[in-house]
Amino acid sequence: MKVTATVKEACAMSGIGKTKLYELIGSNEVDTVAVGRRRLVKVDSLLKLLQAA
């Protein structure tokens, strides 16, 4: 399994829309890491959020 995913990949694997995902990132409910100009979503953080829902 991948450790990180692009925003597009995270949306596809979770079923969450791009706008909502950015809201979750902004409220620190989903962890990300910046690599250069790219923002990558930490998959374990996304899975924890979905399991808690």
Position 20 scores a pLDDT of: 97
Position 53 scores a pLDDT of: 78
SS (H, E, C) the chain: CCCEEEHHHHHHHHCCCHHHHHHHHHCCCCCEEEECCEEEEEHHHHHHHHHHC
**In Å, how far are 3, 7, 33 from 21, measured between CA atoms?**
17, 8, 14
**In Å, how far are 12, 28, 31 from 8, measured between CA atoms?**
6, 18, 15
Question: Rounded to two decimals, what is the model's pTM?
Answer: 0.88
Q: ∠ at Cα 11 (25, 39), nearest 5°?
A: 45
The segments of the chain whose pLDDT lies below 50 read none
Average confidence score pLDDT of the chain:
95
